RNA sequence: GGAGAGGUGGCAGAGUGGUUGAAUGCGGCGGUCUCGAAAACCGUUUCACGGGUUACCCCCGUGACGAGGGUUCGAAUCCCUCCCUCUCCGCCA
């Protein structure tokens, strides 16, 4: 959520920021509503002040037994109350409209973010590793996985519906090995591990920005709970309505969770394989940082995610998303893309963002630093995949496959797989 | 799921319609005392929003005693709905 006051005082800056994002958010619509809201509040509060004064006077009259004067005063206050009620009706309406409008505004891009309309405007910042040159025709994971008994697409559909997958045998074990390897790696970098609910309530989803605008992307239970699309939601909301201590910042959190996405509007994209499915596993990184350190915290987070791929020996490149390609809550985002032989290209496997105070304002996450300032201020929240487990599994299978259909196990994963160095058909 | 009890300031805990935003204690902060500390004593200690100012310093106002509604001139106090916590029973990984 944007700071209403900032929008009020910097309408031109906000207008151009919205344009660069390709967001059709109406600054002028906001300004008009905001002005009306403040005028109504001033009027209502003046009337309330006079009512409070009269009520006090009535109390005094009653004590003195001057009943008739008290009755007359009561009648006068009833009039005031009617006017207040009328104004309050409109105030509540305007208040809701202002809030809803603010909740649908995306974050403002940081000044370091390149301008661009879509992913073609993203800027590569670095590459690591060299895509392997195969001396045979490498198989795509949608062929390789089933042949190994590692991935079962048909049964995923049978058990749930299309775009759900089942992992079996080495596939299931490799998946679990990846999760543990990632969590252990992040723990080594000072991240505290959490285990959180896979379902979240509406307030939680609103705190991180999925609601109210993106409800169609979520699975919803008939109790009004939602399946989380990412552990970012839970890790960030852990501190909703809390005031953190500056001395403890930045906080480094990590969690493994399944993630659920409706993928509404993704029809026809990545239909083969398990690149885009309704349920996938992910290890997430979240940080809470003081504003003056959040961008440096973002750089470190990207490195932490990249290291997972480096340890696994998977070639990747990192790009800065341009204004038009960034997510709703982000002020700056780096995507890490892993090399996938089946795509003959790099494919997103991690997205690391600094959301500045955008989520903190929605979720009321603050910090205090008595030596530096009075009261409390909003923290900056960051999140990143560290990394998407399903896509990582795919990357390992495809990049480490051999001519005979077996797959070499990356060194770092062997301790997690009982020491085996290769996996073949079950 | 059934029955009962309860949700008040960082914590504990008063307060059942009228200067109660809220007693008291603890904790925190500042001070006195002390070489220093402890103890004791004194003072202080919520937040949001709106306005004046426009720096979130200060001043005024409004609202907030789980949340939302209602009754009333006036609600922490009365009524309704919802949420949550605790105890017992049931069920259960």
Query: In three state form, how does the secondary structure of chain A look?
Result: CCCHHHHHHCHHHHHHHHHHHCCCCCHHHHHHHHHHHHHHHHHHHHHHHHHHHHHHHHHHHHHHCCHHHHHHHHHHHHHHHHHHHHHHHHHHHHHHHHHHHHHCCCCCCCCCCCCCCCHHHCEEEEEECCCCCCCCCCCCHHHHHHHHCCEEHHHHHHHCCCCCCEECCHHHHHHHHHHHHHHHHHHHCCCEEECCCCEECHHHHHHHCCCCCCHHHCCECCCCCEECCCHHHHHHHCCCCEEEEHHHCCEEEEEEEEEECCCCCCCCCCCCCCCCCCEEEEEEEEEEECHHHHHHHHHHHHHHHHHHHHHHCCCEEEEECCHHHCCCCCCEEEEEEEEECCCCEEEEEEEEEECCCHHHHHHCEEEECCCCCCCCEECEEEEEEEEEHHHHHHHHHHHCECCCCCEECCHHHHHHHCCCCEECCC
Question: Do A347 and A338 meet the contact criterion of CB atoms below 8 Å apart?
Answer: yes
The reply to whether A162 Cβ lies less than 7 angstroms from strand B is no
Domain ranges within chain A, ordered by starting residue? 4-103, 119-423
Whether A269 is catalytic is no
Give A230-266 pLDDT, tens digit per residue: 999 999 999 888 888 888 889 999 999 999 999 877 7
Identify the pLDDT of residue A61: 81
Nearest nucleotide to A9 (CA to C1') is: B54
Return the pLDDT at A426. Answer: 66
State the pairing for strand pair A192-194/A251-260.
Answer: parallel
Q: Which nucleotide is nearest to A63 (CA to C1')?
A: B18
Cβ of A41 near strand B (under 7 Å)? The reply is: yes
Residue A55 Cβ under 7 A from any strand B atom: yes
Q: How far is the CA of A31 from the C1' of B90 (A)?
A: 57
The predicted pLDDT at position A316 comes to 98
| Å from the A224 CA to the B4 C1' | 29
Model pLDDT for residues A145-172, shown as the tens digit of each residue: 999 999 999 999 999 999 999 999 999 9
Q: Which nt has its C1' nearest the CA of A39? A: B50
Strand B, nucleotides covered by protein (CB < 7 Å): 18-19, 47-51, 56-57, 61-63, 69, 72-74
pLDDT of chain A, 426 residues: tens digit per residue: 999 999 999 999 999 999 999 988 999 999 999 999 999 999 999 998 888 888 888 888 887 777 788 888 888 888 888 888 888 888 888 988 998 899 999 999 999 999 999 999 999 999 999 999 999 999 999 999 999 999 999 999 999 999 999 999 999 999 999 999 999 999 999 999 999 999 999 999 999 999 989 999 999 988 888 999 999 999 999 988 888 888 888 999 999 999 999 987 777 788 899 999 999 999 999 999 999 999 999 999 999 999 999 999 999 999 999 999 999 999 999 999 999 999 999 999 999 999 999 999 999 898 888 777 777 889 999 999 999 999 999 999 999 999 999 999 999 999 999 999 999 986
Q: What is the pLDDT of residue A335?
A: 98
Which fold would CATH assign to domain A119-423? BirA Bifunctional Protein; domain 2 (3.30.930)
Distance in angstroms (rounded) separating the CA atoms of residues A151 and A413: 19
Q: Is the CB of A49 under 7 A from strand B?
A: yes
For residue A185, the model assigns a pLDDT of: 98
Query: Is residue A163 left, alpha or beta, with left meaning phi > 0 and alpha meaning psi from -120 to 50?
Result: left
Query: Which nt is closest to the CA of A48, judged by C1'?
Result: B62
Strand B and A375 CB separated by under 7 Å: yes
Burial of A47 (0-12, 13-18, 19+ CB in 10 A): middle
Q: Is the CB of A104 under 7 A from strand B?
A: no
Which positions ≥6 away from A34 have C-beta within 8 Å? A4, A7, A8, A98
Q: How far apart are CA A96 and CA A93, in angstroms?
A: 5
Any atom of strand B under 7 A from CB of A83? no
A368 CB inside 7 Å of strand B: no
Compute the C-alpha angle A108/A113/A119, nearest 5°: 100
pLDDT of A7 reads 94
Q: List A242's β-bridge partners, or say none.
A: A365
* A 306-365: CB within 7 Å of strand B: none
- What is this structure's pTM? 0.93
How far is it, in rounded angstroms, from Cα A426 to Cα A196? 33
A77 nearest nucleotide via C1' and CA: B73
Catalytic residue, from A66, A276, A317, A414: name it.
A276
Is residue A276 flagged as an active site residue? yes
Residue A9 tokens, joined: 């005082």
CA of A374 to C1' of B55 (A): 13
Asked if A59 CB < 7 A from strand B, the reply is yes
- What confidence score (pLDDT) does residue A350 get? 98
Query: What's the pLDDT at A76?
Result: 86
Q: Which residue has the tokens 């987070």?
A: A301
Query: Could you tell me the distance in Å between the CA of residue A160 and the C1' of nucleotide B14?
Result: 57
Class of domain A4-103: mainly alpha
């Amino acid at each position: 959520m944007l700071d209403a006051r900032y929008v009020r005082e910097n309408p031109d800056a906000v207008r151009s920021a919205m344009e660069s994002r390709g967001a059709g958010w109406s600054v002028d619509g906001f300004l008009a509503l905001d002005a009306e809201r403040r005028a109504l509040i001033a009027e209502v509060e003046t009337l309330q002040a006079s009512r409070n004064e009269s009520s006090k006077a009535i109390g005094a009259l009653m004590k003195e037994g001057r009943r008739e004067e008290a009755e007359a005063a009561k009648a006068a206050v009833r009039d005031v109350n009617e006017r207040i009620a009328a104004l309050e009706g409109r105030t509540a309406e305007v208040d809701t409209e202002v809030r809803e409008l603010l909740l649908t505004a995306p974050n403002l891009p940081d000044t370091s973010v390149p301008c661009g309309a879509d992913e073609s405007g993203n800027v590569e910042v670095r590459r690591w590793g060299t895509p392997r040159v195969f001396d045979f025709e490498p198989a795509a994971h949608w062929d390789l996985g089933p042949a190994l008994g590692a991935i079962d697409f048909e049964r995923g559909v049978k058990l749930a519906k299309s775009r759900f997958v089942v992992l079996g045998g080495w596939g299931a074990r490799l998946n679990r090995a990846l999760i543990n390897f990632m969590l252990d790696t992040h723990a080594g970098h000072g991240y505290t591990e959490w285990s959180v609910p896979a379902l979240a309530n509406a307030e939680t989803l609103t705190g991180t920005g999925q609601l109210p605008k993106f409800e169609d992307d979520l699975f919803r239970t008939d109790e009004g709970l939602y399946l989380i699309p990412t552990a970012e939601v839970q890790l960030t909301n852990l501190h909703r309505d809390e005031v953190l201590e500056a001395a403890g910042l930045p906080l480094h959190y990590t969690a493994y969770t399944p993630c659920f996405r409706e993928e509404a509007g993704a029809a026809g994209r990545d239909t083969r394989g398990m690149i885009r499915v309704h349920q996938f596993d992910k290890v997430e990184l979240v940080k809470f940082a003081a504003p003056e350190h959040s961008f440096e915290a973002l750089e470190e987070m990207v490195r932490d995610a990249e290291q997972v791929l480096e340890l696994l020996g998977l070639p990747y490149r990192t790009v800065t998303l341009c204004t038009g390609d960034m997510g709703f809550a982000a002020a700056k985002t780096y995507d890490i893309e892993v090399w996938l032989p089946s795509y003959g290209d790099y494919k997103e496997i991690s997205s690391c963002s600094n959301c500045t105070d955008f989520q903190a304002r929605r979720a009321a996450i603050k910090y205090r630093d008595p030596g530096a300032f009075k009261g409390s201020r909003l923290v900056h929240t960051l999140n990143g995949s560290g990394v998407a487990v399903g896509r990582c599994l795919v990357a390992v299978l495809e990049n480490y496959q051999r001519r005979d259909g077996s797959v070499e196990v990356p060194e770092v994963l062997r301790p997690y797989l009982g020491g085996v160095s290769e996996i073949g058909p079950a």
